[in-house]
Structure 1
Amino acid sequence: MKKRNLNGVVFVATMGALAFGFDTGVISGAIPFLELPFSEGGLALSASQVGIVTSSLLLGAACGGLLSGNLADQRGRKRTLLILALLFTAGAIGTSLAPNIVVMVIFRVVLGLAVGGASAIVPVFIGELAPTHLRGQLVARNELTIVTGQLLAYTSNAIFAQTMPDNHHVWRFMLILCTVPALLLFFGTFYLAESPRWLISHNKLAEARDALWQLREGDDVEDELQEIKQHVEETKRIEAASLRTEMKVPWIRRIVLIGVTLSFLSQMTGVNSVMYYAPSILIHTGLGTSASIVATIGNGVVSVLAVAFGSMVLLPRIRRRPMLLTGQIGVTCCHVLLGSAFVFMAQSVFRSYVVLALMMLFLFFMQAFVSVIFWLMLSEIFPLRIRGKAMGLAVFANWIANFIVAMLFPPLQESLGGALFFIFALINFGTIFFYLKFIPETKGRSLEELERHFQSQGK
């Protein structure tokens, strides 16, 4: 038995997040080519079919997030990641070889199962492996890796589009690249240690001690092991029950509802309308198609830099609630400004660049503040005995909101134009008050301390 570098373990785990980001980002560049007729290598997708193809992954992700929680609780975090890697690989190969929309949608759903599972399991897994003082920074790497995956997808799309303009099947090359992070996750999984908390909860104390020893710099892990063991034993004294039964306990019901609502509202910011449809938004301002695709790379760069700034600079210095509220206020203001740019500015190149700048400012507030805190809080607030199930439910809500936005954005944009951003502003204004009233502060407390705090608050 050898020591394992904690950063290396987290890096492998976040390959699931990289695949998540790549798979959700790559479709934006593939869509223009999928709309081409069959004679030109496309799938002749109509506008409504584009919405179906885009959102089918999100519907699969909602189911994947829900199902993966039970799987992770029963089979372990490590084994679940291995299964997700296989789904990522199968989905990437299937979509790249799809001969028609039916096959494309089927394998997009398969990809969605993997994406949803990764979004639920990776932050929980990292949170359970990390020592308390590093948990925030390490879990935040999940979001950083997601947006890095999206940036890589946007960049590879642009490269393929520019270097293979006459290749009728260029979209297939875009989609097959999704196998790279999937295979990295698959082979890297064999390096991972299982979650000590999961091992103890399944009466594998010796294995938990070994896993904890491998992940810590020193050799003395007994104090931490006993704290986890004591907490697990306390939960086992409570009769094992389903999530439905556990929801009858007032403090558990309250914290699960807060987590699920937080998860839903994070998508109602409209962040993925920008990530999925940025070229379409820019084309509506009058910018050319090629320039719009290239500009999408700028959104990806801002997202990566913003998450890095939020997780490495802000998170160690600022408490969770102030960060979340700052980001939410910034997001709301950006929607007002975006709507105003469309409504009150004449169509011109200048307006195009104003909208692009505002989208980047929106992504800065979203990724540096809201996204960093959102995933971190979800990994912290749920009690151990239902953590996997509750996380799955929260991620289900997240992906359902994502699905709603992805399905409705194109027709609403067509009918309302830029005024659609005022609707987003109104929704996000209400979200500010929800955060003020219900979101707890979690910084500086172990997962066990947080659970005891929530329990005492609910009495």
Structure 2
Amino acid sequence: MSATGTTPTHTPLPANTPGPHSRRLGMVAFVATFGGLLFGYDTGVINGAVDPMKADLGLTAVTEGFVVSILVFGAAIGAAIGGRLSDRYGRRHNILLLSGVFIVGTIGCALSPTWPVLALFRFILGLAVGGASTTVPVYLAEVAPVERRGSVVTRNEVMIVSGQFAAFVVNAIIINVWGEHPGVWRSMLVVAVLPAIALLLGMLRVPESPRWLAAQDRDAEALTVLKQLRSPERAEAEMAEVRALAEEDRQAHTGGWSDLAVPWIRRLVIIGAVLGIFQQLTGINSIMYYGTQLLQTAGFSSNGAIIANTANGLFSVLGITVGIMLINKINRRAMLIGGFALISIFHVLVGASAMFLPDSSAKPYIILVFVVAFVFSMQGTLGPLVWLLLSEMFPLKIRSFAMGLCVFVLWTANAGVAFGFPPTVAALGIAPTFFIFAAIGLLGIAFTATAVPETRGKTLEEFEDEARARYRAA
């Protein structure tokens, strides 16, 4: 609440008319989302690299699982640490730091002489992936005007799935051209150093988040940044709103773990964490990490599975493209519920195809169609929406800290899927595994309908006021 104990009112902001500032915003968003591209490539490249890596480094089943999953554990830690560093030192500063970690981790992985060294550098790479997954969406949400926030923030998800698609394509090309060389996996991994360098150089030329600057009492700098990214009238009006909320947060002594004792903040963090769990328990990363192996189980040959797996990457990109077209036109809650419903339907169809269709040359392709439809539905709805909601839901002063906690939980759930999917498929088969995913989707519908707040069409400051009033009264 405000110092007087009342909830502030918000006057409508002036229209953000087109101009040079619009192009500047587009450039800023493009540069920052290279963090998402690296996130996608580094998580997707292992899908095709693990078999030649296993042969070259003599990996056992245990060490293979360790090398694959260690990046996910690093990402969970990186998400938690990255949120705190971002709140303390700034969003731009943190992305610059992460670009350096991406470069070191990528080169270290590509040059690793043994699997323990590879595991170490994949852990370092995971720290960067997790930090980027926390910091980049917050930065984009804070530089974007409310009218464009959905489409700007979800550009990061576009780059994530584009990075995964690029990894699948690069893997397929390299394995079919140079597959006989034992160190071919090194070429797959080292490609990621190019976008890491682009991120480092690009972030040197973009501004800090105006909302973070205002939270640090650097109002003049914040206004200067807003004037670069908004029309002049809009910048002045938005700055007044940002300044008012920053002052409220200072009076409330927000900024860290103590805020979780505040009921309305704690409730938002719990909602965000559970959303992250549901996003991962759709099983999307079972496809991103093990899509090739899944398709082999469905009946494809080894090389055929690597090539067919590129369809998952392609339809990820197509799905997120459709999602961006819809995300500013449909309420967040309605889109989440629709996404869970579609995902559950396609999970049932995958399971039913695997269980009831007779073995034939067509069966693997039918399963592939339903898997691709699931990926398309997921990336067009829950994929971008969960990241967008996490970037919108939390108070300014602890935005990155709270998102870091939620993304830590998300990555922990990701690790659970990464560990649990192969043995579950081995023990139960494809059909029961996807039936379990379908049941989880139904629980996601119930959770969204009863707990998730609506953020569409509200400035970050308006939603903060609304959430404070609603959950204080609850």
Q: TM-score, normalised by structure 1?
A: 0.96
1:303-336 deviation per Cα after TM superposition (whole angstroms, max 9, x unaligned): 0011011112x11321111111111111111111
Asked if structure 1 preserves the Cα contact closer than 8 Å seen for 2:254 and 2:398, the reply is: no
Corresponding residue of 2:353: 341
CA distance in 2, matches of 1:67, 1:188: 23
Alignment-derived partner of residue 123 in structure 1: 137
Q: Is the 8 A contact 1:68 1:80 kept in 2?
A: yes
The aligned runs of 1:444-455 (5 Å cut-off) are 444-455=457-468
Is the Cα contact below 8 Å between 2:295 and 2:309 reproduced in 1? no
Matched, 1:326 2:345: no
Find the partner of 1:138 among 140, 152, 156.
152
Partners of 1:273 and 1:281 lie apart in 2 by 9
Worse-superposed segment, 43-52 or 267-276 = 43-52
Report the Cα offset of residue 242 of structure 1: 2.8
Correspondence for 1:31: 50
Q: How does 1:184-223 map to 2 (within 5 A)?
A: 184-218=198-232, 221-223=235-237
Partner of 2:187: 173
Q: Residue 264 in 1 paired to residue 283 in 2?
A: no
For 1:98 and 1:349, the matched residues in 2 are separated by 40
RMSD: 1.3
For residue 117 of structure 1, report the CA deviation from its aligned partner.
Answer: 0.5
The answer for the alignment partner of 2:452 in structure 1 is 439
Structure 2 residue 314 is the aligned partner of structure 1 residue 301: yes
Query: How many residues are paired up?
Result: 451
Give 2:97's aligned residue: 83
The aligned amino acid for 1:268 is L
The equivalent residue for 2:128 is 114
Q: Name whichever of 343-352 and 92-101 sits farther off.
A: 343-352
* Alpha-carbon offset, residue 441 of structure 1: 1.1
Structure 1 contact 325–435 (Cα < 8 Å) conserved? yes
Kindly tell me: are residues 183 and 446 of structure 1, through their superposed partners in 2, closer, same or farther at Cα, counting changes over 3 Å? same
Secondary structure at 2:252 match in 1: coil
What residue number does 1:73 align with? 87
Give the drift of 1:219.
Answer: 6.2
Write out aligned runs for 1:276-425 (5 A).
276-312=289-325, 314-418=326-430, 419-425=432-438
8 Å CA contact retained: 1:302, 1:364: yes
Deviations 1:5-56 (A, max 9, x none): 10000000000000000101111110111121xxxxx112223322211111
User: In the aligned structure 2, how far is the partner of 1:177 from the partner of 1:190?
Assistant: 22
What is the distance in 2 between the residues matched to 1:348 and 1:84? 48
Q: The residue matched to 1:191 in structure 2 has which SS?
A: coil
Aligned to 2:242: 228
> Structure 1 residues 153 and 80, CA, compared in 2 at 3 Å: closer, same or farther?
same
Contact 1:285/1:348, CA 8 A, preserved across alignment? no
- Structure 1 counterpart of 2:34: 15
Structure-1 separation of matches of 2:112 and 2:421: 25
Unaligned runs of 5+ in 1: 37-41
Deviates more, 1:356-365 or 1:331-340: 331-340
Give the whole-Å Cα distance in 2 for the aligned partners of 1:175 and 1:129: 32
**Structure-2 separation of matches of 1:88 and 1:328:** 33
Alpha-carbon contact 1:84-1:117 (below 8 Å) kept: yes
Please tell me whether the aligned partners of residues 73 and 389 of structure 1 are also in contact (alpha carbons under 8 angstroms): yes
Corresponding residue number in structure 1 for 2:264: 251
State the 1:365 CA deviation. 1.0
**Counterparts in 2 of 1:36-47, with a 5 A limit?**
36=55, 42-47=56-61
Distance in 2 between residues matched to 1:307 and 1:106, nearest whole Å: 32
Q: Could you report, residue by residue, the CA deviation over 1:69-119 in whole angstroms, capped at 9, with x for unpaired residues?
A: 110011000010011001111111111111111111111111110000010
Quote the offset at 1:240 in angstroms: 4.0
Distance 1:353 1:54 in 2: 27
3-state SS of paired residue (2:429): helix
- Report Cα offsets for 1:261-300 as digits up to 9, x if no partner: 1111110100000111111111112210101000111111
Hey, what's the Cα distance between the residues in 1 that align with 2:358 and 2:64? 29
Equivalent pairs: percent with the same residue?
A: 42
Q: Which of 71-80 and 331-340 deviates more?
A: 331-340
CA distance in 1, matches of 2:94, 2:62: 34
Distance 1:161 1:373 in 2: 34
| Contact 1:287–1:349, Cα closer than 8 Å, also in 2 | no
Aligned-residue offset at 1:220: 5.6
What is the alpha-carbon distance in structure 2 between the residues aligned to residue 361 and residue 222 of structure 1?
Answer: 45
Query: Which structure 2 segments of 5+ residues have no match?
Result: 1-19
Q: Distance in 1 between matches of 2:378 and 2:401?
A: 26
Do the aligned residues in 1 keep the contact of 2:150 with 2:388 (CA within 8 Å)? yes
Structure-2 separation of matches of 1:220 and 1:333: 44
The answer to whether the 8 Å contact 2:67/2:119 transfers is yes
Q: Which residue of 2 aligns with 1:49?
A: 63
Q: Is the 8 Å Cα contact of residues 148 and 328 (structure 2) preserved in structure 1?
A: no
TM-aligned CA distance change 1:81 to 1:161, over 3 Å: same
Q: Is the 8 A contact 2:34 2:196 kept in 1?
A: yes
Give the TM-score normalised by structure 2.
0.93
Closer/same/farther in 2, CA of residues 220 and 182 from structure 1, 3 Å limit: same
Do the aligned partners of 1:85 and 1:185 also contact (CA within 8 Å) in 2? yes
